[in-house]
Amino acid sequence: MKAPKISSVSPQRRRTMQAIRSKNTKPEIFVRKLVHGLGFRFRLHHKGLHGSPDLAFIGRKKVIFVNGCFWHQHSGCPGCHVPKSKHAYWLPKLRRNVERDVANTAALRKAGWKVLTVWECELKNTKRLATRLQKFLA
């Protein structure tokens, strides 16, 4: 997924897009359907948990984050590439996202939650992803 064009949106909306992790993205909906198909039920964007995880399995004390490779800087993945000319603009914002992710995951783990991060690029191999999700949730 390419980073959305933000030139056409209002400054207000732009700030919002930059400040929060985007919800209901295509990868997220894909994972939700997959997990649902595996027979698991979950809560969406649970506000009471650090980082409002995309999927929360309360009884199992497990959460799943679905991360865009660009927005959350999937390390080593081609999807995280930022063109050199855009470094000054993007790197500080992306670094903040990554720091927030690390802090949220640490806080959740400390509170006894199991955390799984699904990366956007993992969606290409549905079978493998389904196995991974099943393993994590079982």
Interface ranges with Zn ion (CB under 5 A): 69, 74, 77, 79, 119, 121
Phi, psi of 63 (to 5 degrees): -135, 155
**What span, in angstroms and rounded, lies between the C-alpha atoms of 138 and 133?**
8
Cβ at position 119, least distance to Zn ion in Å: 4
Nearer to Zn ion, 123 or 130 (CB): 123
Rounded to whole angstroms, the Cα distance separating 104 from 53 reads 9
User: Between residues 26 and 36, which has the closer beta carbon with respect to Zn ion?
Assistant: 26
Extract the tokens encoding 9.
């949106």
Rg (C-alpha) for the chain, rounded Å, is 15
What residue is closest to Zn ion based on CB?
77
Residue 70 CB, nearest distance to Zn ion (Å)? 9
Q: Which is nearer to Zn ion, 121 or 130 (CB)?
A: 121
